[in-house]
Amino acid sequence: MEIKKPKIKGLPYNEFKDNEYIEELRRNGVGVIVGVLDELINWGRSNSVWPLTFATSCCGIEFMSIGAARYDFARFGFEVTRASPRQADVIMVAGTIVTKMAPVLLRLYEQMADPKYVVAVGNCAISGGPFTNSYHVVQGVDKILPVDVFIPGCPTRPEALLYGMMQLQRKIKLEHFFGEVNKKEPKSHQMPAIYPGEEPVFAEKYKQHPILANAAQNRPQADTKQAETKAE
């Protein structure tokens, strides 16, 4: 199926093409009316993504500089940084996450209202970065939270940060809002510890989360059907 081209000002669509996973979001098609409504709401949502003021270390300073005049993320609607997770749409995990911080981060994420997104900013948030061998560093936030966009760099350049945030916008634009994103949150339950070799915790907890890459696995029937139609 041809997928719709999301319109984002200032960046040619071709530059987005490297990210096949986004196509998954629109695989099944939508009804006309719901689709139009989706588009309207997503247009609004993607242009007013409010980030949480959250930074643990170095990358946070670059997050500050995209707030300033030179890079100015107000152009994209990200400028309303919120100090309270209740009012934020996206948590930009800028900086190293260490063992002591992990439960705090998870709690912040749980306090955010759905639909919510996670952006891992910098090598530290992706994999532990330069500190990956340390005894006290979590090797990537994706061990704790479902991440939507990874932005590499140590620190990420402000341009890269903006690009990453635009990827998130593109993703939001292609989501089904009705029936998926606006669904209820899964019930919270006791959090165990992560032991090596185990599945990340969120896998169990956020299985139903619609924007996860592995959410596609929850719809095996749709998958096979589509595969069949393709084969025909």
**Residue from 30, 41, 58, 160 that binds another protein (CB under 8 A)?**
58
**Residue from 101, 120, 174, 211 that binds another protein (CB under 8 A)?**
101
69 lies in the site for another protein, by CB under 8 A: yes
126: tokens are: 């992706």
Residue 113 · residue 82 · CB < 8 Å: no
Residue 66 · residue 73 · CB < 8 Å: yes
**Long-range own/partner contacts, residues 63-69 (CB < 8 A, 24 or more apart):** 63/92, 63/94, 63/121, 63/161, 65/158, 66/158, 66/161, 66/162
> Around Cβ 115, how many Cβ atoms within 10 Å?
19
> Around Cβ 28, how many Cβ atoms within 10 Å?
13
Taking the complex as a whole, the smallest distance from the CB of residue 200 to ligand SF4 amounts, in Å, to 20
40 interacts with, out of ligand SF4, another protein, none, CB within 5 to 8 A per kind = none
**Residue from 4, 17, 75, 136 that binds another protein (CB under 8 A)?**
136
Residues 184-203 that bind another protein (CB under 8 A): 190-196, 201
Taking the complex as a whole, the smallest distance from the CB of residue 84 to another protein amounts, in Å, to 10
212 CA to centre of own chain: 8
Q: Closer CB to ligand SF4, residue 123 or residue 139? A: 123
Instruction: Name the residues that contact another protein, by CB under 8 A.
Output: 53-58, 60-62, 64-65, 68-70, 83, 85, 95-96, 98-104, 106-108, 130-131, 133-138, 143-144, 154-155, 157, 190-196, 201
